[in-house]
Amino acid sequence: MREMPVNDFITKNGRIRQGGGLVRDMYRFRVKSSEEPKYKFDYYQLLATIPGEKAFRTMEEGRCPLLRKF
């Protein structure tokens, strides 16, 4: 299962690390002002996409003693 990419309504091409954590892209949004929406539920503007490799620490950088065995 760890070799298969995770693709669902939130995650696109995510991967499960050896310790069981999910690495996926993260997103930075801005809430639109009340004048900006053009249609129903148009509340957010995407500002940036942060790649999963930058958004999460590597397992080597982590300090959780439970992950040391992996």
For residue 36, being part of any structural domain is answered with yes
**Domains held by the chain: number:** 1
Divide the 70 residues of the chain into consecutive groups of 10 and give the mean pLDDT of each group.
87 89 95 95 96 90 71
- Note down the domain range covering 18: 1-58
pTM for this one? 0.74
Q: What's residue 51's pLDDT?
A: 96
Residue 70 lies in a domain: no
Using alpha carbons only, what angle is made at residue 49 by residues 45 and 54, rounded to the nearest 5 degrees? 150
Question: CA-to-CA distance for 24 and 13, rounded, in angstroms?
Answer: 7
Q: CA 36, CA 51: separation in Å to the nearest integer?
A: 28
